[in-house]
Structure formats: C-alpha cells, structure tokens
Amino acid sequence: MKYQECNKIVKQKAFERAIASDELKRSVVDSLDIENMTIEDEYTGPKLEEGKVTLKFMKELMDWFKDEKKLHRKCAYQTDKITICGDTHGQYYDLLNIFELNGLPSLTNPYLFNGDFVDRGSFSVEVILTLFGFKLLYPDHFHLLRGNHETDNMNQMYGFEGEVKAKYTAQMFQLFSEVFQWLPLTLCINSKVLVMHGGLFSEDGVTLDDLKKIDRNRQPPDSGPMCDLLWSDPQPQNGRSISKRGVSCQFGPDVTQRFLEQNKLQYIIRSHEVKAEGYEITHSGKCITVFSAPNYCDQMGNKAAYIHLRGSDLKPEFHQFTAVPHPNVKPMVYANSLLQLGMM
C-alpha cells in the first residue's frame, strides 16, 4: 500500500513537470504585496522601525516568541534594502552627503559602491579610506566593486597616485595598488541582478561561472571578460561597436537580452558614465546606469543618484541629489598633465 501511494505521488509530480511552463518559475516574493499589508490595531507585538531590524526589535521579538506569540506576517516577510552607488571619483563631501541623506552604513543599512572611488576629484584619499573603514567595520554588509580607475595606469594619469604621494608616500600608493587588485569585479543580488562597473562582453556565451573563474588579482588586460567588466558601455542599437574609449566595446540591447536569458537574470546595474539625471534606464529596463558624483569635476552640472533595491521585488528605486560645497581644491590638481587623455 505504501509503495502504491508513493508511486501515485511520483506519477503526479512527473505529470506536473510535464505540463509546467518552460518559462522560469516566479519567485514567491514576486507575489507578495508587502507595502499594502496592514498591521491591525490589536497587534501589540514587535514592529520594524522604518522597515529595518534593530537591536530593540530583536530583543522584543525574542521576548514575544518566548511568550509563544506570533510575529505579524508583514514583519516576517519584510526585508531590508541595499543601497547601490555609482562613481564617487574623489568627491568626498558628496560622499558624506550620501550618508547624510541615506544614513550611515550599518548592519541594517547595507551599501554597494560600484567602482571608481578615486581619481579626478582631489579628495580621493579621504574617500577610499572612509570606504575601506566601513568595509572593515561591516564586512558582510558593505561592498566595494572594482572600477576601471582602481588600476595603476589610470591612477598615474588622473590623480590618485599623485595625491597619495603628496599626502603620504610612494609606498602607500603601492599598498593601495595591491588592495585594488583584490576587489571583486561583480556582485549578484538574489540570483536576479548582476552589478558591475562597466558592462557586458565583447563576445556572447559568458556565464556567471566564467566570471567566478577570472583571476582578478592583477592589473586588467587589454581585452577579455575582466577588461569588459571594467570598461564596456551600452549602446541603443543592436549588436556591438568599437568603444569610444579605445578599449573593450559598446553592446546593444540584444546582447544584454541574450546574456540575461543565458544566466537567468532580470537586469544589470552598471556605472562608468556620467548622466545628467544621475541615472539612466536603457535596453527596455534591462540595463541601468547609476552615477553618484554630482557636478562631476566641478563642471558637468549633472545630478547624481543612488538606487535602493529591496528583497521583496528588486524593483529599483532611484534617489537623486545635487552637489554640496567643498574646500577650494580644484579637481585634477594631482593629475599628470602630460598624460591626460580626456574624460574616461
């Protein structure tokens, strides 16, 4: 009898698989409408503070469970957000403004900074030491990805090497160079959103497993997936084009779609380009650019932005901000004037 019951269940499961859609199954979180869930007046248990788990909440939760009571379903479902920032480029006082607007990094307020922390702006040392400090303080809740400016040749041209030598020593710059080589190149959020500084690849067929195998502890090569992750840009037309930067490529919406389908992702977030509004949505919403250095180089007049992603649906929420005053030190004062090749 037990065998017959099991056999019936196995056949039922096989039938369900056979008639299932070929499309990717939606995650349970896709069906949740957390924002519109209401907490009834009679509920007196622990509640999240502005959607965040706090120490006070956890203590109340443990006491609540100890009394064999149930946490409200809205609190049980609700997840924290992560804030994604683009290029900061040595604009330390604008970095401080991000923390003023969005709160300091913490266990309940995680951040991801998407490369290009240094060069151009003349407070790159202050930016990178602040970011490294928070990485040490919250190693699992504060993330830094490498940009094309976390490389020796760019630092020599666009100011970071000169700034470090002026404020510290050549040995200090060598240490920064070593650390930059260990920075991750990409980060995947909930197996749905891939974040990188530059963009996608000069050839089709690159998988997430391929990215994990990249030997990143080096200066980037002039071609290949590591180079593309740091240097490529999206373009509106299908296909690929030679990059205006002279390295890597420009990739179209068809390239993005094929990559996402192959790797079962929803969209990518990248930085690397100044945008008038601080962000730009392209490729039918599949490619998002975020840039977090307002009034870039004190002359572009652009807004900046950061993005909130919430685990409930990973729908991006854009928050714009403008530049704040800084001490009278011009951008690029530490740059090598003989080697500058234009804005990159």
128-172 confidence digits (pLDDT tens) = 999 999 999 988 889 999 999 999 999 999 999 999 999 998 999
In this prediction, residues 13-26 reach a mean pLDDT of 54
Q: Who wins on pLDDT, 140 or 268?
A: 268
The pLDDT of residue 79 is 56
The model's confidence at residue 64, banded by pLDDT at 50, 70 and 90, is confident
Q: How far does Cα 197 stand from its chain's mean position?
A: 8
- Rounded to the nearest 10 degrees, how much is the dihedral formed by the CA atoms of 176, 182, 185, 189? -110
Cβ neighbours, 10 Å, residue 196: 26
CA 96-100-104 angle, 5° bins: 85
Per the prediction, the chain carries an average pLDDT of: 89
> Quick check: 55 pLDDT over 80?
no
Mean pLDDT of the 314-337 span:
93
Helix (H) or strand (E) holding 111: strand 111-113
Confidence tier at 220 by pLDDT (50, 70, 90): very high
Residue 298's pLDDT is: 97
User: Is pLDDT at 173 greater than 70 in this prediction?
Assistant: yes
Closest CA to 304 of 106, 155, 102: 102
Distance in angstroms (rounded) separating the CA atoms of residues 202 and 272: 17
What integer pLDDT is reported at residue 42 of this predicted model? Answer: 86
- Rounded distance between C-alpha atoms, residue 282 and residue 141, angstroms: 28
Burial class for 5, CB neighbours closer than 10 Å (0-12, 13-18, 19+) = exposed
pLDDT number for residue 36:
74
Helices 170-180, 160-167: crossing angle, 10 deg rounding: 130
Stretch 264-280: mean pLDDT: 98
pLDDT at 343: 43
Q: At what angle do helices 160-167 and 124-137 cross, to 10 degrees?
A: 80
Report the catalytic residues: 149
Distances (CA, A) of 31 to 50, 286, 313: 22, 21, 9
Give the model's pLDDT for residue 21: 46
